[in-house]
Amino acid sequence: MATNSAESSSDLERAREVSRRLRPGGATAPPSAVTTGPLPTRLGFSAERARALAGGTAPMAAAPHAAAPIPAAPPAPPNPSAELPVAAARPSAPPARPTIPEPPADASWESLLVWCRSALAAEGAFVIDGRGLLVSNSGKLTDDDAQAMGARLVMTVDQADEMERGAQVRTLTLDLSTRCLTGVRLQLASGARLTVGVLSLRPLTLSAGALVRRAFASKLAEG
């Protein structure tokens, strides 16, 4: 029995209509929604797009790239023309030493020793002869101490003369534990020798030795 193609096509359309009615909700899709052409062989949906189509949410926007840190500017070179700090004020100069008065003329041995102590800031001064005997003493030393110290000072000066091969030593300073003992050699007109011993905190300078000789110049002419 031959089949009528028109009836078959009509039956196929009715079957499709029934199938559409049997879907949930009973709604029928508009004819325009039915795809009549061939289906694509590959879908190009991304994961974000698939989630958006399934849940009705918009695709998440990509997080912006973190801004690269701006490198710190190198330190500026020193400016030579910049104002320099004001230097600290220099300490004032030490006060000038008071002028030393001239030694008294035709004074006694004791007066000259007092003058030497005042001019040289010494705590003691004495005169000893070539035999180690005390001539005069002034200051904190007792006569016995000045005698013992003076005798040893004369012996030390004589030994220094020998080290100088017989030449006369004019000034000799001994550095003691807390004080200095300076011996200044004096030559009398008669040829005898005297030694002035000066006990002070600091050794005497060469100019101080010359000052002592000038003070005793009148006595040297007498002897």
pLDDT greater at residue 119 or residue 206 = 119
Q: Which two tokens stand for residue 215?
A: 């003070």
Asked if residue 138 has pLDDT above 50, the reply is: yes
State how far the Cα of 44 lies from the Cα of 46, in Å rounded to an integer.
6
pLDDT attached to residue 82 = 53
Query: 11 or 126: which carries more pLDDT confidence?
Result: 126
Q: What confidence score (pLDDT) does residue 34 get?
A: 46
Higher pLDDT, 98 or 125: 125
Tokens 């879908």 locate to 43
> Which residues, 6 or more positions from 192, have their beta carbon under 8 angstroms from its beta carbon?
129, 130, 223
Question: What's the whole-model pTM score?
Answer: 0.54
pLDDT at 69: 62
List pLDDT tens digits, range 30-85.
554 444 555 444 545 555 655 655 555 555 555 555 556 666 666 666 665 555 55
What does the pLDDT read at residue 35?
47
Q: Of 74-88, 118-132, 163-177, 197-211, give the lowest mean pLDDT range.
A: 74-88
